[in-house]
Amino acid sequence: MSELDTLPRMDRRVALQWMLGAAAAIATRDGRLLAADDTTAPITAKGYGLDPSMVKVYNPGDVWPLTFTQVQRRTTRALCDIIVPSDDISPSGSAVGVPDFIDEWISAPYPEQAKDRPLLLDGLRWIEEEAQRRHQTAFADLSTAQQTVICETFADPAKAKSIDAKAAAFFKRLRDLAFGAWCTTPEGMKAVGYVGNVPTATFAGPPHEALKHVGLA
């Protein structure tokens, strides 16, 4: 059993809920894997339809095939943990299944996801090539400091060199998806202080600070 076989995986029902929530708010040392990625291949699956069942448990591959190879998954896990690292308040992005969400997202047969698919897959390939160029090893095997340096190369599109413009667009989209997905998990919502629809016996109205901010106090 490999390391990846022991990692937590979400079921399809949870992944669908993540996709709806987030929409509202590759290779490494094996060159054959690089050659196998086809970011332009059309997705022919039909998806969940207009009225998906939110109580049925879908296993990976039941509705549409997933995309990530094992090396792409490792790269995405490492990137998610750079974007949302663990701390004393909440777990990291990979610990709550964010890479599963991203795999579901780029595999979905819908226009918005189809637009992101080549950007993210090409970006993962670029990350691996950059890790090989700088350190002759896979991105996931680098130290956190080494990974961070590579990400900082294009983390700010306004500062990224023109040669890294596409990589900057990749990282921005990945960051938006990863953080958006993390914020829809129970752990993420708790960390940012989101309470949601919780019944209360009384309602005191908006706080004075909020009323003052909008000029009503």
In order along its 217 residues, the chain shows pLDDT tens digits of: 444 443 444 554 555 555 555 554 433 333 333 334 555 566 777 777 777 777 888 777 778 899 999 999 999 999 999 999 999 999 999 999 999 999 999 999 988 899 999 999 999 999 999 999 999 999 999 999 999 999 988 887 777 776 678 888 999 999 999 999 999 999 999 998 887 877 888 888 888 999 999 999 8
pLDDT of residue 202: 86
Q: In whole angstroms, what is the distance from residue 17 CA to residue 82 CA?
A: 24
Q: Which two tokens stand for residue 135?
A: 């350190």
- Nearest CA-CA partner of 66 in 20, 36, 34, 100: 100
Question: Helices 70-83 and 144-152: crossing angle, nearest 10°?
Answer: 80
Residue 49 near residue 60, CB atoms below 8 Å? no
Place of tokens 């998990």: 185
Task: Give the pLDDT of residue 138.
Answer: 97
Instruction: Please give the torsion angle defined by the CA atoms of residues 34, 179, 14 and 109, in that order, rounded to the nearest 10 degrees.
Output: -50
CB 47 within 8 A of CB 108: yes
**In the numeric block, which tokens belong to residue 105?**
């997202």
* Residue 80 neighbours by CB under 8 Å, 6+ apart: 92, 93, 94, 98, 99, 102, 178, 182
Selection from 166, 76, 179 nearest residue 124 by Cα? 76
Amino acid at 53: S
pLDDT at 3: 42
What are 205's two structure tokens?
């109205």
144-152 helix and 111-135 helix, angle to the nearest 10 degrees? 120
Give the number of other Cβ atoms within 10 Å of residue 183's Cβ. Answer: 17
**Whether 131 contacts 153, CB under 8 Å:** no
